[in-house]
Structure 1
Amino acid sequence: MSSRIIIVTGGTVGDWVSGYIQPGDLLVGADRGALFLVRNGYRPALALGDFDSVTAEELDEIRQGSEALIDCDPVMKDWTDTEMAFNWALDRRPAGIVLLGALGSRFDHSLANVHLLRKGLQHGIPSLIADRHNELRLLGPGQVTALHKGKFANVSLLPLSAEVTGITLQGFLYPLTEATLSIGQSLGISNVIVEESGHVSIRDGMLLVIQSKDE
């Protein structure tokens, strides 16, 4: 398939979600994320999860408001609801995957969801995690990305591999040329885009690129 898949999961969501949904996107609701979609006028193509965070009445609301529903045992499953949705999306080879509601008060779930970006990278599918304050992408070997200043002018770079080499930044307050970052270093924290867009490229490794804003 060529359309994007938007996954709304059970973390922190709000009216900002609608800004990421475009005509032609395929919508998937993971657990309570499905309830959010249904209650905000969307009809997800799929709702899936163990639905342990919704009541029986809310689950019925999700069932009636979705094209399809996959309900699994909360004890016997091997993956989180979000990973199940992400795997389902990967199997369909979309143009891209956007995860909304993947960040929230549970840091363990948030960090696990960030690691899903690695799966997207390995499958060659551009993947994005976004919330009201942040947008997260993962760059792999030889990749380059253009970041538009917009509402997220701050950019932080964190290695998701032991080392990332050949990091080059253009259009930033603190430019880099063929730099190396090792995991655990904070050198890449809080840079600023000073032109209309900033460009990030790497030679080898996996680099987490986080755009953010203060509020």
Structure 2
Amino acid sequence: MLQRIVIFAGGTLGDWALAHLRADDTLIGADSGARFLIENGYSPDIAIGDFDSVTESEMASIRARSKQTIACDPIDKDYTDTEMAFRLALDMKPAELLLMGALGTRFDHSLANVHLLALADEHGIPAQIVDEHNQVRIVSATSVVHMQDHPQLSLLPLTERVTGITLKGFRYPLHEATLTIGQSLGISNVLIGEEGIVALREGKLLVIQSRD
């Protein structure tokens, strides 16, 4: 089993993203995410997408520097480049999946990428989206949350109802609470120690850790 797959998508990226990499990560570049990796001295294990965001010379570099390139027609496809990369990564059955460059100026793409986390949850593979200020994941049972440098935490239901929510180690605890789509009760909680526990009975909960 692969330890971790890190996908670089075409959203907002920077040096902060490279700081998360480990030597044993498998790297997938989706469209211009592959260009970003190559420009920063990394060789993607797989480059995938329609590559409509790169020039011909950049595409040549991607083909030369990537261990494998999977190119598709920009019109005749059912998934975004990021979803293609994500589904490919799930088929590889990693122990963990990290998605960089999934958030950016296109809110529709950002929201669609957040929804991909539900797909990973269905496969039983821990996955999270990371950007410079946020870490986003799904909890569907019980999870330990570590502060690191993201002390603020918000909970948003991804399913219509999430029931039995219990928080321990937070400034504002919950016990057997229910959240429904459209509520802001779970916004801007704070860890009071180095870690806390988020538990629920039914549904899928977006757990968003943030720093200003």
Relative to the length of structure 1, the TM-score reads: 0.97
Q: Could you tell me which amino acid in structure 2 is paired with residue 151 of structure 1?
A: D
Is the contact made by 2:2 and 2:92 (CA closer than 8 Å) also made in structure 1? no
**Deviation above 6 Å: which 4+ runs of structure 1?**
none
How many residues matched? 212
Q: Whole-Å Cα distance in 1 between the matches of residues 197 and 18 of structure 2? A: 27
Structure 2: which 5+ residue stretches go unaligned? none
Aligned to 1:63: 63
Aligned to 2:204: 206
- Displacement of 1:19 in angstroms is 2.2
What does the per-residue CA deviation read over 1:86-116, in whole Å, with 9 as the maximum and x for residues that have no partner?
A: 0101111110110000000000000000000
What does the per-residue CA deviation read over 1:3-62, in whole Å, with 9 as the maximum and x for residues that have no partner?
A: 211000000000011222112110000000000111111111100100001100111111
Structure 1: which 5+ residue stretches go unaligned? none
Q: Whole-Å Cα distance in 2 between the matches of residues 139 and 146 of structure 1? A: 10
Q: Whole-Å Cα distance in 2 between the matches of residues 68 and 124 of structure 1? A: 26
Q: Could you tell me which amino acid in structure 2 is paired with residue 25 of structure 1?
A: D
Q: Whole-Å Cα distance in 2 between the matches of residues 12 and 98 of structure 1? A: 15
- Displacement of 1:63 in angstroms is 1.0
Q: Whole-Å Cα distance in 2 between the matches of residues 118 and 177 of structure 1? A: 24
Q: After superposition, where does 1:58-137 map in structure 2 within 5 Å?
A: 58-137=58-137
Q: Alpha carbon RMSD of aligned pairs, Å?
A: 0.8
What does the per-residue CA deviation read over 1:146-191, in whole Å, with 9 as the maximum and x for residues that have no partner?
A: 1111211110000000100111111111011111101110000000
Question: Of the candidates 143, 166, 169, which is equivalent to residue 168 of structure 1?
Answer: 166
Relative to the length of structure 2, the TM-score reads: 0.98
Is the contact made by 2:30 and 2:49 (CA closer than 8 Å) also made in structure 1? yes
The percentage of counterpart residues that share the same residue type is 58
- Displacement of 1:2 in angstroms is 3.0
| 3-state DSSP of counterpart to 1:174 | coil
